[in-house]
Chains A and B, each alone.
Chain A
Amino acid sequence: MPATIPLTGGVRWINECFAHEDAHEHVSVYLIETETAAILIDSGSFYHREAIAERIDQATGGDGPEAIVLSHSDYPHAGNISTIRDRWDDVELVASSGSPELQGLSDAQRCTIGDSRTVLDRRFSFVDPPLADRSHTAWIYDHGSGVLFTADGFGSYHEPADCDRTSRQFEDNVPRETIYQYHANNLAWLRYVDPEKLEAALASIFETYDISYVAPIHGHPISGRELPEFTNRLVDVAGCIASEYEVPEP
């Protein structure tokens, strides 16, 4: 397995997997190599602690990241913050949480959803995510590479043979069924979704930002070329999840 899988503009995918009975789920992190530093997006799960630390070490020539930008405090995203900060000195932590002490992130610098800020030498915008579970989740847009990191959004499960694939390595994009399985299992509120409202919110983000890749934590990175069709499948899947759920008679 390569230490990292390069996407674009210095962004590298560090893909780890959690095996469910019949499918894999990615629990990934991303590393951005800027001209002067390395910035980690999320920190992964404790479950992959050694592997992630090793792969970061290899990718950065032992220097480690200078900053971690966190999408939200959910354990599979925030599980290795202290490991990384213990191993490498002076790793800055940036998070969108409004009350970091309640999330166990006491010394995090706060970024505000809807705002932009520069971390080291890189400009990020923090986007209000239409597909998320936790309230304080931010999607993170990296202006340097055009990659939009979507936390729990845009996920999919995958076959054990497909761990290293981005959307580009599929003959016909990421399979609809794997997008369906991920969203049905993980975003419970989609049973109430109005797919048109979801589609409009996604369209407005895609109009605002010029996107080279969508980079989910729990799925294959999706290149701009495959993004429109992936999004069609996603909105369609959301509509199916909603139509399959009828409110039961009391």
Chain B
Amino acid sequence: MAREIEPGFYWIYEGGPDRSEMFAAEGSSPAWANPDEAVYIPQCAYLLCGEEESLLLDTLSPAGSDHILDELEALLDGDGLDYLVVSHPDVPHAGNTLAILDAYPDATLVAPRYGDDHELYRLDDALRVGEGDEIDLGGYVVAFHEATFLDAPVSLWMSERTTDTLFPIDWLGFPHGESEALQFVDELDAPLGDDRLVQFHGRVLFWHQYVDVSKVKREIDRLIATHEPEQLAPAHGLVVRREATEQMTRMKGVVEEIERRDRIGTLG
């Protein structure tokens, strides 16, 4: 499944397994979820087709291998892929790197310059990028950033300049119901509550339990002031087209809530 966010800017979506039992098993039947529906925490990849060149950010999980190759074939419509950017070498993000490079042997593999274990992730031959590096696709221009809230040290974030979209990878994800798949957050029937953000970040960025919350909140303020995005395109949530900085601001309450609770659970 895929959706065009802007002309030539595609959101490629893999729902993954139904998570409703995970919530049920932990005794929390989320208020936002329709009890008859599956619950997903998706993997998202993003394809940007500029006037000159095309770029794919992330690869979906090994379970989505056929899906990403089919989508690329349909969306590129016979054109090649110029850049494959791996945000970090985590299996659900990077699991189809070799399959995509096999299908598009002329694509340049782009990897974070951060961290020091590139060889252990077979990224030693990749073009390494970070803060200050840009790729002009013609029309779309992507810029790379040091990832702020992350798991693996070999990590990057990305933004796109003409649409002011921030791609915060593992940050700003959240679960959604089956009928909400590929909807923009402003299209949801029920407004997106903090509880969904708490569920995601309490599991995935579980280390928030052990932090100085005031420092994390200062970091969130810095991110907002630095990027001032119009749109957010997370790897594990739905795309935010409106009030992006408000969404980021809400994360300050979310990290306070995670600190108040015991570990919510795991994921992945």
Q: Is A201 an interface residue (CB 8 A)?
A: yes
Q: Say which size band chain B's interface belongs to.
A: 35 or more
Contacts of A113 in B (CB 8 A): 266
A-B contact count (CB 8 A): 127
A18-B151 contact given A102-B61, A242-B212, CB 8 Å threshold: no
B81-93 interface code vs A (CB 8 A; 1 in, 0 out): 0000000011110
Binds A, one of B48-56, B72-80, B115-123, B244-252: B115-123
| Partner-contacting stretch, out of B137-145, B184-192, B202-210 | B202-210
Instruction: Tell me whether A76 and B152 are in contact (CB under 8 A).
Output: no
For B61, the closest partner residue in chain A by CB is A102
Tell me how far the C-beta of A184 lies from the nearest C-beta in chain B, rounded to whole angstroms: 10
Name the residue in B117, B209, B210 with the highest tally of chain A Cβ atoms < 10 Å from its Cβ. B210
Question: Which listed residue, B17, B207, B211, B222, touches A250 by the CB 8 Å rule?
Answer: B222
Interface size on A, as a range, is 35 or more
Given contacts A102-B63, A189-B211, contact A76 B120 (CB under 8 A): yes
Q: For chain A, residues 233 to 250, give those with C-beta under 8 angstroms from any C-beta of chain B.
A: 242, 247-250
Write out the residue numbers on chain A whose beta carbons fall within 8 Å of the beta carbon of B91. Answer: 73-75, 102-104
Cβ contact within 8 Å between B150 and A188: yes
Q: Please determine whether B222 and A247 come into contact, CB atoms closer than 8 angstroms.
A: yes
Contact with B along A178-194 (1 / 0, CB 8 A): 00000001111100111
Give the distance to chain A from B205, nearest Cβ to Cβ, in Å.
8
Determine the chain B residues whose CB is within 8 A of the CB of A248 once the complex forms: 222
- How long is the Cα–Cα vector from A22 to B203 in the complex, in angstroms? 35
> What 1/0 flags go to A159-200 for Cβ under 8 Å of B?
000000000000000000000000001111100111001100
Q: How far is the CB of A71 from chain B (nearest CB, A)?
A: 13
Question: How far in angstroms is the closest Cβ of chain B from A188?
Answer: 5
Q: Please, how many angstroms separate the alpha-carbon atoms of A103 and B16 in the complex?
A: 11
Q: Is the CB of A192 within 8 A of B212?
A: yes
Q: Complex formed: what's the CA distance from A79 to B226 in Å? A: 38
Q: Are B215 and A103 in contact (CB under 8 A)?
A: no
Task: Tell me the nearest residue of chain A to B170, going by C-beta.
Answer: A135
The answer to whether the Cβ of B8 comes within 8 Å of any Cβ in the partner chain is no
User: A residues within 8 A CB of B221?
Assistant: 250
A228 to B207, CA, bound (A): 22
Q: Report the stretch among A1-9, A52-60, A92-100 that lies at the interface.
A: A92-100
Instruction: Check: B268 CB closer than 8 A to any chain A CB.
Output: yes
Residues of B within 8 A of A250 (CB): 221-222, 225-226
The CA-CA distance from A201 to B263 in the complex, in Å, is 12
Closest residue of B by beta carbon distance from A103: B91
